[in-house]
Amino acid sequence: MVKKAITLCLLAFFLLPSLSGAVLAGEAPDLTLYWLFDNKSYCVGDTGTVEFRLKNDDVVLVRVTWIGIHFEWMEEGYYFALDFSDNPVEVSPGATEYIGTVEFEVYENARYGKNLYYFLVEYEYWDGVKWVPDRWFTEDFEIYIAEPVSVTWWLQKEKTSYFKGEKILYTLNITNNCNRCIRVLSVGARGDWFPEGVYYFIEYPEAPVIEPGDYLLLSDLDLEVPKTAEVKWHNIKATVCYDVEEDGGWSEMQCYEVPEWYAVEVLERKLPIPNLRGVFEILGGIGAAIGFIIGIFKKFLGKKDQTPPPPPQR
């Protein structure tokens, strides 16, 4: 949750445009505004809420008649707001009161990263004779608009060299940054031996769903090094394709390319080639041994097959 507080110190030059002649700068109320968002970050298309409380640090009674929040993705002059003009919220001296909760939406033109916002509070205070209306524009603050998913990934084997035909095993940890569900449709990886933009994808017909703020761990994913890959260092990247829950269905598929990449060395398997002289010596020895064995075998067979001479004549 994001919780901040700001203090209103209305100076004379700030009050001049709206002062009646009877009100002095020193008589302006000292107010503190507290607010609380319902999420630590938001995605484009998300809705959220911000809750307000107002503390009156002065001795005069204050009534809030209107409060709004303006984000920089909105047109100037537009607010997500609450109107209490028919029933103002009173804040007694020294008291802190709940003002209300404003709902807002992150428009399509919001950019990833930091976006500015500010508050406008319209109120009136009792000067002892009458109610004096005034308004307070706060300073700018920052809210973070995240990409729907963030991904960390790592290789499952702690090595940087792979042979052609070998599989590179990797793991993906996918986090849902939205306050809506996300479905993972497919994941993929690529080495720069592929043409630009081409990935080896693993698809999920029964797409796993990640709840808001939760994560999904996918392991034993693989990318095979083709036998046509060059023997050199290559870069490998990963991507995740998903859709986001919308009213009555799901958004169009979006793909997030993980910014972190790995460098791996591709090697070629080679059989060891012994010294040729040694080869000939080994072959000669083997041939001599075979010849010796064959000679003994032939001699043995010759003795076995010889017909004995006939007995002498008497």
Containing 243, the helix (H) or strand (E) segment is strand 233-246
**Token reading at 118:** 């500010």
The token duo for 194 is 């592929």
Per-residue pLDDT for 274 more than 60?
A: no
pLDDT of residue 269: 85
Domains, the chain, ranges and CATH?
A: 3-145 (2.60.40.150), 149-267 (2.60.40.10)
Lowest-confidence segment of 39-43, 75-79, 120-124 by average pLDDT: 39-43
Residue 124 identity (one-letter amino acid): E
- Reduced to 3 states (helix: H, G, I; strand: E, B; else coil), residue 167 is strand
Tokens (6 digits) for 260: 């972190």
Of 8 and 210, the one with more pLDDT? 210
Query: Rounded mean pLDDT of the chain?
Result: 85
DSSP structure class, residue 83: E
What does the H/E/C string look like for 90-122?
EECCCCEEEEEEEEEECCCCCCCEEEEEEEEEE
Q: Are 21 and 43 in contact (CB under 8 A)?
A: no
Residue 286 has pLDDT above 80, yes or no: no
Measured between its terminal Cα atoms, the distance across the chain in Å is 129
Contact (CB, 8 A) for 84 and 66: yes
The pLDDT tens digits for 165-199 are 999 999 999 999 999 999 999 999 999 999 998 99
**pLDDT tens sequence across 109-132:** 999 999 999 999 999 999 889 999
Is a pLDDT exceeding 70 seen at residue 11? no
CB-based contact 5:140 (threshold 8 Å): no
How many residues are given for the chain? 314
